[in-house]
Structure 1
Amino acid sequence: MRDLLYPPVIGFAKTAFKVLDLKFRMTGTEHIPRSGGAVLALNHISYVDFVIGGFGAQPSKRLVRFMAKEVLFRNRYSGPLMRGMHHIPVDRGAGAGSYREALRYLKEGEIIGVFPEATISRSFELKEFKSGTVRMAAATGVPVIPMVLWGTQRMMTKDHPRDFSRHQNVSISVGEPIKVSRGDDATEATAQLRTSMAGLLDEAIRAYPEQPPGAWWLPASYGGGAPTPEDAERLDQEELRNRAARRKE
Structure 2
Amino acid sequence: MAEPFFRALELVIPRLAAANGPHVTIDGLANIPDSGGAVVAVNHTSYLDWYPASVAALRRRRRLRYLIKSEMTEVPVVDYVIRHARLIPVDRSAGAGAYDEAVRRLADGELVGLNPEATISRSFELQEFKTGAARMAHAAGVPLVPVIVWGIHRVWTKDHPKHLWRNHIPVLTKIGRPMAASANMTATTAELRNTMAVMLEEAQMEYPHPAGAHWVPRRLGGGAPTMAEALQMRAAELAERDRRRVQQAQGRRGRQTRDGRGAR
TM-score, reference length from structure 2:
0.90
Partner of 2:244: 246
- Letter of the 1:179 partner, please give it: A
CA distance in 2, matches of 1:110, 1:12: 22
Partner of 1:197: 196
Q: Report the secondary structure of 2:52's partner residue.
A: helix
Which residues of structure 1 form unaligned runs of 5+? none
- How far residue 21 of structure 1 moved from its aligned partner, in angstroms, is 4.2
- How far residue 211 of structure 1 moved from its aligned partner, in angstroms, is 1.5
CA distance in 2, matches of 1:113, 1:92: 16
Equivalenced residue count is 246
Q: Report the secondary structure of 2:76's partner residue.
A: coil
Partner of 2:224: 226
- How far residue 71 of structure 1 moved from its aligned partner, in angstroms, is 1.3
> In angstroms, what is the RMSD of aligned CA positions?
1.1
Which residues of structure 2 form unaligned runs of 5+? 248-264
Partner of 1:236: 234
* Structure with larger Rg: 2
Q: Report the secondary structure of 1:232's partner residue.
A: helix
Identity of counterpart residues, as a percentage?
A: 41
TM-score, reference length from structure 1:
0.96
Output one character per residue of 1:73-99: Cα deviation in whole Å (capped at 9) or x when no partner. 231111011110010010001111110
Partner of 1:138: 138
CA distance in 2, matches of 1:121, 1:217: 11
Partner of 2:253: none
Tell me, yes or no, if the aligned pair for 2:50 and 2:66 is still in contact at 8 Å: yes
Segment drifting more, 7-16 vs 188-197:
7-16
CA distance in 1, matches of 2:48, 2:237: 20
Which among 199, 214, 217 is matched to residue 216 of structure 1? 214
CA distance in 2, matches of 1:216, 1:115: 22
Partner of 1:91: 91
CA distance in 1, matches of 2:19, 2:180: 39
Tell me, yes or no, if the aligned pair for 2:10 and 2:58 is still in contact at 8 Å: no
- How far residue 25 of structure 1 moved from its aligned partner, in angstroms, is 2.1
Partner of 2:178: 177
